């Protein structure tokens, strides 16, 4: 384990696109440690990001924009006064994650970069697509928790709860290496298995560090919520979740963001669903339109068909909550 003191130094310790050092970034370790214990990754070196100063703050600027450091813990995010007041969607998403113990050490950067939970990916002996094998076992095997949208050839779902909420807020991320720095919309940060490199879920380059998350100032009047269905209330990943931002003017929807979690290999923004309801009042018919449009194109596997009625149910509950 090495303790870098700057992002540049951390980046130099990481492998490059061409390969090199077998090293992994370590933040709170809540995902990485499980991967290490299950021998899904076996790096020679752990680069402990926690020794890099300045990445653990939540800052609001005068323009009302929010910058969240990668090392901010989920608990700190959940409890930050401005987030609680202005961005309930984000505080609710953070609060829905895992257990109090895990939230108190898990970080924002680690949460956004965590790896899939699919049974087969996590089973060391199953050489699945995500581990460089040739088959997605979930496709024909046990797939209750797998994707109904955007799947193929791998059917994982992205496990992060922060991601759908942040995508709904139009968040950007800063990615830095020792020689480069760039910003991406979080929405574009995530990839589908069909986009190319199946061994990763993001566009993060091997020597890049996600340093900050930026949330733009939201237009006035936003109502927002993150509704997550957990099979086990005490701590669980989403069977399905809905991140919803809604702007109403005299009862009419002037703007909305709908992002689904737990149903696709990346946070699933449904522009179609958003457009379908613009200008409408929030009533049973509108909700029905949103439900249909959001799940347009869903393809179910043998055991995950329930995610369609479940997600529709959550959408209704989310609209009811905000209207």
Ligand X SMILES: Cc1cc2nc3c(=O)[nH]c(=O)nc-3n(C[C@H](O)[C@H](O)[C@H](O)COP(=O)(O)OP(=O)(O)OC[C@H]3O[C@@H](n4cnc5c(N)ncnc54)[C@H](O)[C@@H]3O)c2cc1C
List residues near ligand X by CB under 6 A: 24-32, 34, 49, 70, 74, 97-98, 102, 106-107, 109-111, 113-114, 159-161, 204, 209-210, 235-237
Q: Which residue number, 120 or 155, has a Cβ lying nearer to other proteins?
A: 120
- Residue 215, CB half-sphere, CA atoms under 13 Å: how many? 24
Among 40, 310, 321, 323, binds other proteins (CB under 8 A): 310
> What SS3 string covers 154-205?
CCCCCCCCHHHHHHHCCCEEEEECCCCEEEEEHHHHECCHHHCCCCCCECCC
Could you say whether residue 111 binds other proteins (CB under 8 A)? no
Contacts of residues 78-87 at CB distance under 8 Å and 24 or more positions apart, as own/partner, are: 78/103, 82/58, 83/58, 86/218, 87/169, 87/215, 87/218, 87/224
Q: Are 166 and 186 contacting, i.e. CB atoms less than 8 angstroms apart?
A: yes
Q: Which residue number, 161 or 274, has a Cβ lying nearer to ligand X?
A: 161
Sole window of 9-17, 65-73, 225-233, 251-259 interacting with other proteins (rule: CB under 8 A): 225-233
- When CB distances to ligand X are compared, the closest residue is 110
Among 139, 189, 229, 268, binds other proteins (CB under 8 A): 229
Tokens of 114: 């965590």
Q: Which residue number, 117 or 272, has a Cβ lying nearer to ligand X?
A: 117
Query: Which three-class secondary structure state does DSSP give residue 248?
Result: strand
Could you say whether residue 125 binds other proteins (CB under 8 A)? yes
Partner whose footprint covers residue 159, from other proteins, ligand X, none (CB < 5 to 8 Å by kind): ligand X
Residue that the structure tokens 């939230």 belong to: 103
* Peptide linkage before 153 cis (omega within 30 of 0): yes
The site map against other proteins for 23-52 (x = CB under 8 A) is: ----------------x-------------
Q: Are 5 and 13 contacting, i.e. CB atoms less than 8 angstroms apart?
A: no
Could you say whether residue 133 binds other proteins (CB under 8 A)? no
Q: Which residue number, 4 or 159, has a Cβ lying nearer to ligand X?
A: 159
Q: Which residue number, 139 or 190, has a Cβ lying nearer to other proteins?
A: 139
We find the least distance from the C-beta atom of residue 28 to other proteins, in angstroms, to be: 17
- Give the separation between CA 152 and CA 75, rounded to whole angstroms: 34
Cα-to-chain-centroid distance, residue 303: 23
Binding stretches for other proteins (CB under 8 A)? 39, 119-120, 122-123, 125-126, 137, 140-142, 144, 229, 231-236, 239, 303-306, 308-310, 312-314, 316-317
């Amino acid at each position: 384990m090495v303790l870098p003191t700057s992002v540049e130094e951390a980046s130099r310790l990481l492998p490059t696109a061409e390969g090199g050092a077998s090293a992994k970034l370590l933040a709170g370790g809540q995902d990485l440690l499980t991967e290490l214990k299950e021998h899904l990754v076996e790096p020679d070196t752990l680069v402990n990001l926690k020794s890099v100063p300045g990445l653990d703050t939540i800052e609001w600027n005068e323009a009302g924009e929010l910058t969240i450091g990668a090392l901010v813990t989920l608990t700190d995010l959940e409890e930050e006064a401005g987030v609680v007041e202005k961005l309930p969607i984000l505080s609710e998403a953070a609060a829905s994650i895992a257990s109090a113990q895990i939230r108190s050490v898990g970080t924002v950067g680690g949460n956004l970069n965590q790896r899939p939970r699919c049974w087969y990916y996590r089973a060391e002996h199953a050489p699945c697509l995500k581990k460089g094998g040739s088959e997605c076992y979930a496709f024909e095997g046990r797939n209750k928790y797998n994707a109904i949208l955007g799947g193929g050839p791998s059917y994982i779902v992205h496990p992060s709860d922060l991601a759908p909420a942040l995508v709904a807020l139009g968040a950007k991320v800063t990615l830095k290496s020792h020689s480069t720095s760039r910003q991406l919309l979080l929405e574009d940060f995530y990839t589908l298995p069909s986009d190319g490199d199946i061994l990763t879920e993001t566009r993060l380059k091997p020597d890049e560090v996600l340093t900050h998350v930026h949330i733009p100032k939201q237009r006035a009047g936003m109502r927002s919520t993150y509704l997550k269905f957990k099979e086990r209330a005490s701590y669980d990943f989403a069977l399905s979740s809905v991140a919803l931002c809604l702007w109403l003017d005299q009862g009419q929807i002037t703007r909305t963001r709908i992002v689904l979690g737990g149903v696709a290999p990346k946070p699933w923004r449904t522009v179609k669903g958003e457009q379908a309801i613009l200008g409408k009042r929030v009533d049973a018919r509108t909700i029905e339109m949103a439900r249909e449009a959001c799940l347009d194109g869903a393809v179910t596997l043998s055991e995950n068909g329930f995610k369609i009625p479940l997600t529709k149910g959550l959408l209704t509950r989310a609209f009811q909550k905000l209207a």
